[in-house]
Amino acid sequence: MEKEEEKIEAKTKPTRELKTVYQANPLLQSKKDYGILEHRLLRLAIADVRPHLKNSMYFDNDFKTFHLSSKELLEYFKDGAGGDSHSLYEKLVKSCQSMGKKTVELKINKGVKVIPVFEYIEFTAQDGLYIKFNRAMMPYLIELEGGNYTRTLLGLSFALNSVYSLTLLELMLQYQGTAKFDIVTRKISLEELKFSMNVPEDAYNGRIDNFRHKVIDSAIKDINANTDYEINPKYEIIRGKFNKVTGFIFKLKLPPEKSEPDEVYYGQDAKKESLIYYLCSHGIPRRTAEHLAEQENAQKNIEIALKYIDKGFVKNPRAYIRMAIEEDWYKTKRNSNWFLGVPN
């Protein structure tokens, strides 16, 4: 059974395009003094976090250390996302030195909250990348059950070329559950846009055309050219007193496979997605996890398997969980000890 699992996993190893990034909305909208490489590193680490999703069966009590070897990093930063190995390693050293000292600024209850992001972040060409988040980040990455959060794909941060592009797309995807006929419409104030994009408040004052051209228009071109999403370049400009520009209304067209509401809007697939996430956290490939999550009594069978996994009796939890679901131990009404000879 174990060899069969390893064979399947080798064929369906998750890529950056398939990994999911979960962020509480205050973090998604926060101000981060990061370049695009630093944003990619941040999301790589976030994608490894197992959050407390709605209906989730798994609960981490603290952040684990995220690690990628130098070889794995090169694979993630392929296709020109980081340059050759020597160039990438130099950039990673500088980015880690910079990121370790920086905070994020969140707008909370009409105020501002500044928190440190990492307990530590380090990179060497020999040992690879190590990241551990600061405990202050827990409400925004792990404890997501009580608040709103947004799910995006990790691959977006590697497909896009600028922080402005990534920020604008994520702000739009935050509202993807409100889509009508696959179109997301969102009003974003100029102040909010500058804050989330980390554009200095006094930048482009009195030069809104420059802001539109260098920030908004270039971001829209990047998104439309390099992702499956499309933002209408003819966005609406909102004006206030003395005809001053105060914000914009954007329209984002979702690709067919992205048109379903996110869990934050309590979609019907939230429970299934939680099961898939839990199965993947035990090393089961995404495609296999999707198939298992659709099986009758999947959650109840996982609960049966967990009774013995938690006691430390099971050497291969991944195979054990899969067997419980495929053989539907709950339905057969047999004691799970019968299957693998596990003691009481």
CATH topology of domain 14-155: Arc Repressor Mutant, subunit A (1.10.10)
Q: What percentage of the chain carries pLDDT values higher than 90?
A: 41
In this predicted structure, which of 2-11, 39-48, 178-187, 307-316 has the lowest mean pLDDT? 2-11
Q: What is the rounded distance in angstroms from the CA atom of residue 178 to the CA atom of residue 184? A: 6
Domain edges within the chain: 3-8+264-340, 14-155, 160-259
Mean pLDDT in the chain? 81
Q: What is the rounded distance in angstroms from the CA atom of residue 119 to the CA atom of residue 30? A: 19
Q: What's the whole-number mean pLDDT along residues 241-250?
A: 89
Give 207's contacts (C-beta < 8 A, 6+ positions apart): none
pLDDT of 344 strictly over 60:
no
Please, is 162 exposed, middle or buried when counting C-beta atoms within 10 Å of its C-beta (0-12, 13-18, 19+)? middle
| pLDDT for the residue numbered 110 | 80
Both tokens of 69, joined, read 């070897």
* Count of CA atoms in the C-beta half-sphere (13 A) of 177: 16
Q: Over the stretch 53-72, which tens digit does the pLDDT of each residue have?
A: 655 555 667 898 999 999 88
| pLDDT for the residue numbered 9 | 37
Q: Over the stretch 154-186, which tens digit does the pLDDT of each residue have?
A: 999 999 999 999 999 999 999 988 888 889 999
Higher pLDDT pick, 67 / 242: 67
pLDDT of 289 strictly over 50:
yes
String of DSSP letters for 206-221: T-HHHHIIIIIIHHHH
pLDDT band at 147 (very low <50, low <70, confident <90, very high): low
Higher pLDDT pick, 118 / 276: 118
Q: For domain 160-259, give its CATH number from 3.30.70.360, 3.40.605.10, 1.10.10.10, 3.90.79.10.
A: 1.10.10.10
Intrachain domains 14-155 and 160-259 with the same fold: yes
Q: What's the whole-number mean pLDDT along residues 222-247?
A: 92
pLDDT band at 215 (very low <50, low <70, confident <90, very high): very high
Give the best-scoring range by mean pLDDT among 140-144, 145-149, 181-185: 181-185
Please, is 214 exposed, middle or buried when counting C-beta atoms within 10 Å of its C-beta (0-12, 13-18, 19+)? middle
Q: Which amino acid appears at position 315 of this protein?
A: K
| pLDDT for the residue numbered 262 | 40
Q: Over the stretch 86-127, which tens digit does the pLDDT of each residue have?
A: 888 999 999 999 999 899 999 888 889 999 999 999 999 999
String of DSSP letters for 128-181: EEEEEE-GGGHHHHT--TTS-EEEEETHHHHH--SHHHHHHHHHHHTTGGG-BT
* pTM of the complete model beyond 0.85: no
